[in-house]
């Protein structure tokens, strides 16, 4: 795997730009480097034909969204209407239509104790492998000690 370029962590006054492209059915990049405690401007670009979502959170958050979207077997394109997850399991969710970009500001928690993952739970996207991971790095881009960032 290529070395991570040096990272200057984002602050609330100057967030670091992070771009994630959603395709049919992958995240690019598949592993996103984040510095604990930094603030980022997350640009989520849908370069696929289907509507997609980016859910950022640990496995329990991913499972909550997967369970919430499951009742809509073969729904029309898009997220399940009025879908919600139990409090505390929301994570960050960004829904993006084909050809559009959604931008959000996100503060990476300081105390991440579980592997953060990326997932899309619309219809059967998760089952098709639309998953990614977060690698925690220090300000210089050096990976911090944690479990291997392999997507589910």
- Domain 16-136 bears CATH identifier 2.60.40.420: yes
pLDDT digits (tens, 9 = 90+) for 112-150: 889 999 999 988 899 999 999 999 998 877 888 754 445
Q: How confident is the model at residue 76 (pLDDT cuts 50, 70, 90)?
A: low
Express as a percent the part of the chain with pLDDT over 90: 68
The pLDDT value recorded for residue 6 is 80
Cα–Cα nearest to 23, from 150, 104, 118, 152:
118
Q: Using a CB cutoff of 8 Å and minimum separation of 24, what contacts does 4-9 make?
A: 4/33, 4/135, 4/137, 4/141, 4/142, 4/143, 5/141, 6/140, 6/141, 7/33, 7/35, 7/137, 7/139, 7/140, 7/141, 8/139, 9/35, 9/37, 9/38, 9/139
pLDDT(77) > 60: no
Instruction: Give the per-residue pLDDT at 31.
Output: 96
pTM here is 0.86
- Arithmetic mean of pLDDT, 15-37: 96
Mean pLDDT for the chain overall? 88
Q: Domain-by-domain residue ranges, the chain?
A: 16-136
């Amino acid at each position: 795997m290529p070395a991570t370029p040096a990272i200057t962590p984002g602050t609330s006054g100057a967030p670091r730009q992070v771009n994630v492209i959603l395709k049919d059915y992958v995240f690019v990049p598949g592993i996103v480097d984040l510095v604990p405690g930094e603030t980022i401007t997350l640009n989520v670009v849908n370069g696929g034909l289907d509507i997609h979502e980016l859910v950022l959170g640990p496995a329990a958050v991913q499972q909550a969204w997967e369970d919430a979207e499951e009742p809509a077997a073969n729904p029309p394109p898009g997220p399940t209407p009025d879908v919600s997850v139990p409090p505390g399991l929301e994570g960050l969710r960004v829904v993006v239509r084909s050809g559009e970009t959604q931008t959000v500001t996100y503060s990476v928690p300081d105390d991440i104790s579980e592997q953060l993952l990326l997932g899309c739970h619309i219809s059967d996207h998760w089952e098709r492998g639309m998953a990614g991971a977060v690698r925690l790095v220090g300000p210089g881009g050096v990976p911090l000690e944690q479990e291997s960032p392999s997507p589910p």
